[in-house]
Structure 1
Amino acid sequence: MAKMNIIILITIYLMSLIFTAGSTPPEDPIKCTINNTMNCTITNSYGAFPDRRVCRAAEAAYPKTEAELVSIIAAATKQTRRMKAATRFAHSIPKLSCPEGDGGLLISTKYLNRTLAVDAAGMTMTVESGVSLRQVIEEAAKAGLALPYAPYWWGLTVGGLMGTGAHGSSLWGVGSSVHDHVIRIRIVTPATEKEGYATIRTLEQGDSDIKAARVSLGVLGVISQVTFKLEPLFKRSISFVEKNDSDLGDEALRFGFQHEFADIKWFPSQRKVLYRVDDRVSTNASGDGLFDFIGFRARTSLLLAVIRSTEEAQELIGDANGKCASEVVTTTATKVAAYGLTNNGIIFTGYPVIGYQNRMQSSGSCLNSLEDGLITACPWDPRVKGLFFHQTTFSISLTKVKSFIEDVQKLVNLEPKSLCVLGLYDGILMRYVKASTAYLGKQEDSIDFDITYYRSKDPLAPRLYEDILEEIEQMAVFKYGALPHWGKNRNVAFQGVIGKYKSAGEFLKVKQKFDPLGLFSSEWSDQILGLKTGISIVKDGCGLEGLCICSQDAHCAPNKGYFCRAGKVYKDAKVCVKIN
């Protein structure tokens, strides 16, 4: 009977993929009550920052040209007003777009969305900072060019990519970080009265200051234009190969050097690994494949509500068996659906899937369909009852990866069902990232571990196996010195982070040079840059949401049986453990 129920659930899941055609695009993250420009709030695309606090601003501005952007920043500088750039998609989880104080100014790049120049012979493209990754990919392809590496989600803007160091997966060439393929940046910064209170700085390849702007955290000013160095359009061949995880520690070190676009999905409780065998092939190779990743497709709001309600019920009663059954359903269904790959844009007929780079590197079809009144939506759209989650994402040096993987495997051996909670969120995504010259870029060749998992709507409600993921988080950050992804993560991952960057001092010098009054700084950016304390928000229940590392039982949920205790494998960890 249980097997029959799983088959039925897989069938329903697959049917939902086939027949979902529309999608309601996400809302603008900025909401203003007066003339659509004053008395504003801003959030991210998930509807909640890590601390769940509402970010308020006095005003929002929507420049349509670089000249308008200069004028807006000049006026605000003259008033010594705090400012922050904001994007139309707002996919950064931390509060990078939240200005200091309620009187701040939000500068949206929504209408700075033009492709300015494409040089096919020189293989460069210049765009405004509000251009989406999807636009970059499509415009490059029209000219027979390609951005070689990119994040898998195309709903990011160029400015957002530069702000957070977003990347794909590769150890080849100069690596998978998009900012390392940028050769020119125009950025508008505050200036003196003599300079008209704002200035445009043009940073070229080879300039020392470009190393700061490539991963800017939004604290240097507002990037107005970016020039990419591209490559001739090429084809890729993708196959997924499933194996046991017994030798993952060794295999992970080899795999990234064997395949240019390699990545790994790890399902620790199933002891299963999915290897992405992904390489360039000749443009003469037959195939017109398309990768429309399942996790980025629209879902019917009804199905999303059923999935979320099931997840909430399992959490409420501590149903680990139900979590593991759900993981089997999800991973089996996505395998049957070839993870979103089709050989011709319509159906999957078998591996390898071969197609042009612009059809294979990124996706996000839930962003691009016609409005349908929320009958369908992106799975995380906060306007519907859908996915609501934490993301813990960090990069560990290749020299330490094997030991980290083995420590996680030890945890799973102690609690075999503990990481079934990752099944609904596509397991642990492992991407390869190369060391960067950017001051706040990756310091060493690394593997980025991307872990997405359930978050309760109630900040004081503990999760099933709360302690295991907390221990993994603390183990990575403190035992293995992991670097957190700047655009993801809970507060814990940023503790002491700036001390892990050897050129942090050089970044701060550029910040002082570009914005001496700190008008583009905020409490959050000062905290992660080590200029202020307060990353840890210590209060009752703070350990449950990663706002603090628990040091007393009140930081967990003692009334629900969760107490602050040492980790099981990493004994220095302090985690919220359920004690029966």
Structure 2
Amino acid sequence: MKQKNNGTWVSWNENVTHNYKSLYKITTEEELREVIKNSEKIRVFGSKQSSADIASGLETLVDITTYNKILSYNDSEHTITVQSGVILGDLLDAIEAKGWCIPCLPDINTITIGGALATGTHGTSGKLLCEYMTDCSIVLADGSLKKINEKDEIIDAVRVSLGVLGIMSEITFKCEPIYTLHVKEGPEDDSEWLPKIKERLNKHAFLRILWLPHTDKGYVITGDKINPDTEITENLGPAYLKHRRTASKILYKYSHIFPWTTAIANKLLYRGFFRNTKEHKGSLYQATVTKSRGSTIELAEWTIGLDKFPKVFEELKTEINKWSNKSFIHIPMDIRFVYKDKSWLSYAYGEDTVTMGCVSRNAATADTYEAFKSIEKVFLKHGGKPHWGKRFTAKDAGISKIYSKWEDFKVLRKELDPTNKFLNPYLTELLNEKQRANAVA
């Protein structure tokens, strides 16, 4: 175990910083238990890519990225057991080498498994990543180890835990046989893709829509399972498409000063980078997951019931197209689909849902990005839920109205962590624990 004293923790985007007194890099479960047991307050972080201030903010920190071994496979059960600091890309490489897959993958592969589970990371046209977890062990506030499997009632609370019930240690995932997707991409008018969502979800194994605000266009991506030997005519589009992020960075450089220029930039980006059709094939991981992200961005993401989405979309579109406000949104807004589950803090608890991401490509000025406020206002109005690892301002009172198991989660949290060891200032405010502590006093 390595220890570093008195430093500054800096987020991926460099817009969240916190001083710390002790930072530990651990490689074993025993070291993790020891550090937690002997710390008064502690947070664990991974790749630091969250847009929420969830990972740091305390005097004692653990860098979990060195706790990253793949521990075992069960060939007959198609399961893999890993340490929680494993990077998603390494996990996916390992299971693809076995001829397996996890059928729902997030957009980027550089996050740690523990962080991905804690914040409810998801893909599209499937369930949250945590729904494929069958067993796990968590280190509790007193340093003891608690093992949990699918038969335990609290597994539905632990699947999305915000890192406040205990710290994930070892995790087992249930995998499925690998399959090949035939992916087709291309632009459509909003009036065309919006009414076809349910039809396409029934027809295709994979559906994702990159909405292009202020253009009346969406970029539709579908995937169908095919025999891996099926020949297709691959078309990856013009070579210059790889420069989209660079072009976006240039076009949005001053959009925080002159928000209305975003609408012009979006139209130019659509004409340059989203008018082409593309076609290719590969595994879900090969065909759909971003392997690198060249620039830092800030994100908000909101989720709404599938049946409510068309109305919410039209309301949001009307709101952001008003020239009287400053809510001009960078492209694309990522629209994905998650099927219902039973995890307490899942965005899809009890209902099929649509998620809609909002991106600011000027990370340094994201605090003044009006679009984050507008999307939150519209989605909250209709009972939408925020992504735990991304930007939102709703706190305990608002969260309790949209998560039916929120109060149950808070009771369990207090039971497992009675001294609030895992709460940083951000989480203390989110859970309203400061007020509760004052009331008790």
TM-score by length of 1: 0.68
State the partner residue of 2:84: 129
Structure 1 residue 56, shift from structure 2 partner? 2.1
Structure 1 residue 439, shift from structure 2 partner? 1.3
Structure 1 residue 92, shift from structure 2 partner? 1.0
CA distance in 2: counterparts of 1:257 and 1:493, whole angstroms: 36
Q: Specify the code of the residue in structure 2 equivalent to 1:215.
A: V
Structure 1 residue 448, shift from structure 2 partner? 0.5
Structure 1 stretch displaced more, 510-519 or 252-261: 252-261
Aligned residues: 431
Structure 1 residue 418, shift from structure 2 partner? 7.0
Q: Specify the code of the residue in structure 2 equivalent to 1:356.
A: S
C-alpha change, 1:405 and 1:336, in structure 2 (3 Å) is closer
State the partner residue of 2:129: 178
Structure 1 residue 502, shift from structure 2 partner? 1.4
Q: Specify the code of the residue in structure 2 equivalent to 1:189.
A: L
2:333–2:356 contact (8 Å) kept in structure 1: yes
- Could you report, residue by residue, the CA deviation over 1:200-230 in whole angstroms, capped at 9, with x for unpaired residues? 1110012112112110101122111110000
The residue matched to 2:427 in structure 1 has which SS?
A: helix
CA distance in 2: counterparts of 1:298 and 1:519, whole angstroms: 45
508, 511, 525: which one aligns with 2:410? 508
State the partner residue of 1:395: 303
After superposition, the CA RMSD in angstroms is 3.1
- Could you report, residue by residue, the CA deviation over 1:480-518 in whole angstroms, capped at 9, with x for unpaired residues? 111000000132487611332212233223322322211
C-alpha change, 1:515 and 1:246, in structure 2 (3 Å) is same
C-alpha change, 1:252 and 1:357, in structure 2 (3 Å) is closer
The residue matched to 2:340 in structure 1 has which SS?
A: coil
2:54–2:427 contact (8 Å) kept in structure 1: yes
C-alpha change, 1:312 and 1:99, in structure 2 (3 Å) is closer
| Pair 1:472 & 2:375 matched | yes
| Pair 1:438 & 2:343 matched | yes
1:242–1:273 contact (8 Å) kept in structure 2: yes
| Pair 1:94 & 2:52 matched | yes
40, 43, 65: which one aligns with 1:84? 43
State the partner residue of 2:30: 67
2:182–2:282 contact (8 Å) kept in structure 1: yes
3, 12, 17: which one aligns with 1:45? 12
State the partner residue of 1:9: none
CA distance in 2: counterparts of 1:252 and 1:140, whole angstroms: 31
1:185–1:202 contact (8 Å) kept in structure 2: yes
CA distance in 1: counterparts of 2:372 and 2:36, whole angstroms: 42
| Pair 1:328 & 2:271 matched | no
State the partner residue of 1:564: none
Structure 2: unaligned runs, 5 residues or longer: 437-441
Structure 1 residue 392, shift from structure 2 partner? 2.2
Structure 1 residue 527, shift from structure 2 partner? 2.1
C-alpha change, 1:42 and 1:469, in structure 2 (3 Å) is closer
Structure 1 stretch displaced more, 428-437 or 40-49: 40-49
The residue matched to 2:67 in structure 1 has which SS?
A: coil
1:473–1:493 contact (8 Å) kept in structure 2: no
Structure 1 residue 252, shift from structure 2 partner? 3.0
C-alpha change, 1:315 and 1:458, in structure 2 (3 Å) is closer
CA distance in 2: counterparts of 1:404 and 1:67, whole angstroms: 48
C-alpha change, 1:422 and 1:365, in structure 2 (3 Å) is closer
- Map 1:20-419 → 2, pairs under 5 A: 37-49=4-16, 54-76=17-39, 81-87=40-46, 89-100=47-58, 104-170=59-125, 175-191=126-142, 198-286=143-231, 308=249, 310-316=251-257, 318=258, 320=260, 322-335=261-274, 351=279, 353-365=280-292, 378-380=294-296, 389-411=297-319, 414-415=322-323
Structure 1 residue 310, shift from structure 2 partner? 5.0
The residue matched to 2:308 in structure 1 has which SS?
A: helix
C-alpha change, 1:334 and 1:413, in structure 2 (3 Å) is closer
2:248–2:269 contact (8 Å) kept in structure 1: no
Structure 1: unaligned runs, 5 residues or longer: 1-34, 192-197, 339-349, 367-377, 381-388, 535-580
TM-score by length of 2: 0.88
